[in-house]
Amino acid sequence: MTENATTISNYFGYRDASAAIDWLGRAFGFETTMRFDVEDGSVGHSELRLGDAAIVVFTDQEGYERPPRKGETYGFGTYLTLPDEAQVDKIHAQAVDAGATTVWKPELTEWGNYRCRVLDLEGFEWTFGTHRPGQPAEW
């Protein structure tokens, strides 16, 4: 493995993957590192990076069902660690400016995680915070 390789990646089937790739760049700062379009113009496979995080985006050709929200959240989503509170504030502002829906404004939790949560243009849930999962913490 190379130094920049990831060991876990999420994949997302978007109804309009081309628009999603552009939006993820504007809203969160993802950079497209690979893209394969198929004959009909849809995205067969693409890879995007933000720091050491990598995701896969493709066109949802099957019309996958999205689970309903229960309360303020779906109960699952993607969490990305940011270096500090200022970066959480910045990414929240960028996302909202790009059209994201705020679930949680930037806030400090009881356990010391400064975080925000937004829904992207197709309803996927994204959380950005300062807590690094898997690292010891003093609660």
Residue spans in the chain of domains classed CATH 3.10.180.10:
10-59, 78-129
Architecture of the domain spanning 78-129: Roll (3.10)
Total count of residues recorded for the chain = 139
pLDDT for position 23: 98
What would the pLDDT profile of 63-83 be if each residue is shown by its tens digit? 888 788 888 888 789 999 999
Beta-strand ranges (E) seen in 31-133 are: 31-37, 43-50, 53-59, 78-81, 101-108, 114-119, 125-129
Mean pLDDT over residues 91-105, rounded? 98
**Angle, CA of 5, 10 and 13, to the nearest 5°:** 130
The whole model's pTM is what?
0.89
* 110: Cβ contacts below 8 Å, ≥ 6 apart: none
What would the pLDDT profile of 7-45 be if each residue is shown by its tens digit? 678 999 999 999 999 999 999 999 999 999 999 999 999
Give the separation between CA 41 and CA 7, rounded to whole angstroms.
30
Q: What's the CATH number for 10-59?
A: 3.10.180.10
- How many helices and strands in the chain, by DSSP H and E? 2, 8
